């Protein structure tokens, strides 16, 4: 039983991805291409992550109450 668990842990660690601040990807640092278009708008195109952390968190709802 211990041999099976140890083999499973080693196998899973070999096939695991890198965890960075945005999610789990194949590389630790995402290679991003940043540029400005002709109208002056900033664009940032990054590699896709295997799992995105921000896509799984529910967005907090804003309250419509006035602060005053």
pLDDT tens, residue by residue, 32-65: 899 999 999 999 988 777 777 765 556 667 666 6
Give the per-residue pLDDT at 55.
53
Whether the predicted model's global pTM rises above the 0.85 cut: no
pLDDT for 26 equals 74
At a CB cut-off of 8 Å and minimum separation 6, what does 38 contact? none
Q: Taking the domains of the chain in order of start, what are their residue ranges?
A: 15-47
pLDDT digits (tens, 9 = 90+) for 7-38: 877 776 656 667 777 677 777 777 789 999 99
Closest by alpha carbon to 19, among 52, 44, 48, 58? 52
- Cα(23)–Cα(39) distance, integer angstroms: 31
User: Within 13 Å, how many C-alpha atoms sit on residue 24's CB side?
Assistant: 6
């Amino acid at each position: 039983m211990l041999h099976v668990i140890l083999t499973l842990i080693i196998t899973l660690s070999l096939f695991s991805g890198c965890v960075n601040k945005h999610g789990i990807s194949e590389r630790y640092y995402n290679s991003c291409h940043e540029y400005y278009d002709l109208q002056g708008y900033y664009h940032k195109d990054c590699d896709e992550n295997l799992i995105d952390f921000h896509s799984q968190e529910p967005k907090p709802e804003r309250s419509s109450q006035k602060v005053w």
